[in-house]
Structure 1
Amino acid sequence: MNRQTKLITEHTSKRYLIGVSVMAMALLFFLFSGFLFGDESRSKVQQTPLDEPLNLRGAGELEVENWVYNPSKELMVVTLNIDKSTSLLNDKLSFVAQEKEHPRRKIPTTVEYQNDGRYVISIQQVSPSFDVMALDINKEETNNLTLKEDEQNSSKGGEESNQLARIYTDQSKVKTDLNLGVKTMQEYELAALSQEVKKTKETIKEKDESIQSIGERLEEIDQKIVELESERLYETKEEKEQTDAQIRQLKNEKERLHRDSLEYKTAIKTLKEKLKMLKEKQRMISN
């Protein structure tokens, strides 16, 4: 009888321990599932920064100037600027949009304006719950070595697409504008000129500030040279040699700074001429 009671007690204890273990594991699962599988409310924001250089896989750099969304029209407009020094300026680019919420849905994407490395792309029929929108930037290439047989069998003539970059906007971060719409070519041209005027003015300001900094540094150098030459009168031969070396170094720096200042002044003159032409072009297009 005692043995039977003992066996029943042991069996009950094991079941109790198993039950407690299962409950503990379940509790740990719910506590840490957000870390293991990701919590939608804590998901990482996918937003490509504006006005920051983005590498195009060795083909230059691109900046996302603006990315705006009008939920009432289910419309997005993306403005891109491609580095003017890149060979891509002579290549054909295509753009493909994709929603995270509906990844297989084809989304109408149109290049509304393109000139001198500047692209304005409209993305239409955007779902109200797109979550994250990706835009692929592709370089269209044509294979000139395609055999005649392939050319006859393929209407594309060997055309293929190479992805240069993928940029994103997050629904929680994208700039919204209820007045946003597709503009005319003239309006996009004027907007491009306004942006160019703005950047030119900023560059002129930066170079003016550099010239001012150089002037302040030149004053410091002149003052330091006067101090060293005064101290030199009371130094030993070895100390004078060290002082002479410092003075030569400072004078070399002065020459370099004078050259830099001259280059900045020349650049400012060129930029001011460019600014004048941009404003004249704005006036002509506006009339």
Structure 2
Amino acid sequence: MKNKLNRGRENKTYISLLLVAGLAFGVFFTSKTWMYDDSAIAQTSFNESINGLSQTTLTLRDWEYNPKNKLMEVTLERNHTGTDAVEPTFSFYAKEQHATQKYKAELVYQSDNNMVVQIEDVPESFEVIGLFVTEHRDQNILKQEYKKQLENKDGEATVTDQSIQKSDLPEPEQVIILGDYRIIDTTQSLVTKTDKGYKKESIIADMERTKQAITTIVEEDIPFQEELITTLKKEKESLKQDMAFETKEEQADTKREIEQKDKAIEEAKSEIEKLKKNVKELQDKYQNREEELNALTQNKDDKQQNKNEKTNAENVKTGQQDAHQNKQNDNNHAAKKDEK
């Protein structure tokens, strides 16, 4: 009886330990989703210029993560702002903050000014990921720069391209773009797309940014300048009325103040014209991108239509062949009947 009681107590103890272990396990692996993290957010700002490369200005446009397939996707905009006649190429790798393990980062799509980089095998437990972007300038350009430096230093170039060693040339420049798990978008639908899929996404995102820029100018910037003009005009009229009770010296100061307000009014009017011109350019850009998107979609529809037409033609051909075969079978059957 005592042994049974002891075994019962031992079983309860084991069960309790297993429950505690399971709870601790769950807390450890799910704490990111429910525990408050008061550490500083380490996230590179979206839609702002990223400096640090000599030939390229980068802009972070989007960062997504799919925990199901451990895949990250980073969208960058690049602008060639340097003086090199040949645009540089880029290489990538990624790793977590305060870690040594590197993750494979691959360029899966690029257009004239966009790059989409995928980072593979990122565990759901990540907190801060650094995407290392290395800019590789053309070797011939670097060699020419090196020879010019020698000319400026010694007055005469004494080396040829063939004699220049790799160690003589500057190391490629690198920037680190940070992604924080609290900022990165988590989506279960993230997969590798086709070039057309990425191009479509790029066009749509550019249209959204253009639309937002137009809205900001029309609803905020222009009304601000108009309100400023109204305020300046009221202040100007008030100063004119005060001049009737001022001395000559005070009137001279007031006139100068009125002139300053007139100048400010003209500057505000000029700024409004610039803003309106900017809106027109943005509207034209939006329309061009819309036409590009429609053309891209139309090409897809045309291919599908051609595929459907081909299928229909094959069906018609098969139907005709079946009808011909049936007719032939009927004729053979009739001939055999006549022979009988």
Q: TM-score, normalised by structure 1?
A: 0.73
Counterpart CA distance in 2 for 1:273 and 1:42 is 45
Alpha-carbon deviation of 1:54? Answer: 2.4
Does residue 189 of structure 1 match 2:193? no
Point out the structure with the larger strand share: 1
| Corresponding residue number in structure 2 for 1:137 | 133
Alignment equivalent of 1:176, drawn from 170, 186, 208: 186
Q: Which is greater in Rg?
A: 2
1:96 maps to a residue whose letter is Y
| Corresponding residue number in structure 1 for 2:89 | 92
Q: After superposition, what is the alpha-carbon deviation per residue over 1:49-92, rounded to whole angstroms, capped at 9, x for unaligned?
A: 33333222454542222211112112110111234655689221
Q: After superposition, what is the alpha-carbon deviation per residue over 1:234-256, rounded to whole angstroms, capped at 9, x for unaligned?
A: 22111111111111111111111
Counterpart CA distance in 2 for 1:164 and 1:51 is 19
Range that drifts further, 165-174 or 209-218: 165-174
How much is the aligned-residue C-alpha RMSD, in angstroms? Answer: 3.0
Kept after mapping to 2: 8 A contact 1:130/1:171:
yes
2:195 maps to a residue whose letter is M
Task: Mark the runs of 5 or more structure 1 residues left unpaired by the alignment.
Answer: 1-40
Kept after mapping to 1: 8 A contact 2:66/2:186:
yes
Kept after mapping to 2: 8 A contact 1:140/1:160:
no
Range that drifts further, 188-197 or 93-102: 93-102
Structure 1 residue matching 2:59: 3-state secondary structure: strand
After superposition, the Cα gap between the structure-2 partners of 1:172 and 1:276, relative to the gap in structure 1 and judged at 3 Å, is: closer
Structure 1 residue matching 2:129: 3-state secondary structure: strand
Q: After superposition, what is the alpha-carbon deviation per residue over 1:110-129, rounded to whole angstroms, capped at 9, x for unaligned?
A: 21121232211011122444
Q: After superposition, what is the alpha-carbon deviation per residue over 1:89-109, rounded to whole angstroms, capped at 9, x for unaligned?
A: 92212211224586245x332
After superposition, the Cα gap between the structure-2 partners of 1:257 and 1:44, relative to the gap in structure 1 and judged at 3 Å, is: closer
Counterpart CA distance in 2 for 1:226 and 1:44 is 52
Does residue 213 of structure 1 match 2:224? yes
Alpha-carbon deviation of 1:169? Answer: 2.3
Counterpart CA distance in 2 for 1:132 and 1:206 is 33
Point out the structure with the larger helix share: 2
| Corresponding residue number in structure 2 for 1:55 | 51
Identity %: 24
Kept after mapping to 2: 8 A contact 1:47/1:170:
yes
Alignment equivalent of 2:209, drawn from 193, 199, 205: 199
| Corresponding residue number in structure 1 for 2:162 | 148
Alignment equivalent of 1:67, drawn from 53, 59, 63: 63
Kept after mapping to 1: 8 A contact 2:87/2:137:
no
Mapping of residues 235-254 of structure 1, within 5 Å? 235-254=246-265
Does residue 116 of structure 1 match 2:112? yes
2:211 maps to a residue whose letter is K
| Corresponding residue number in structure 1 for 2:269 | 258
Alpha-carbon deviation of 1:286? Answer: 1.1
2:186 maps to a residue whose letter is T
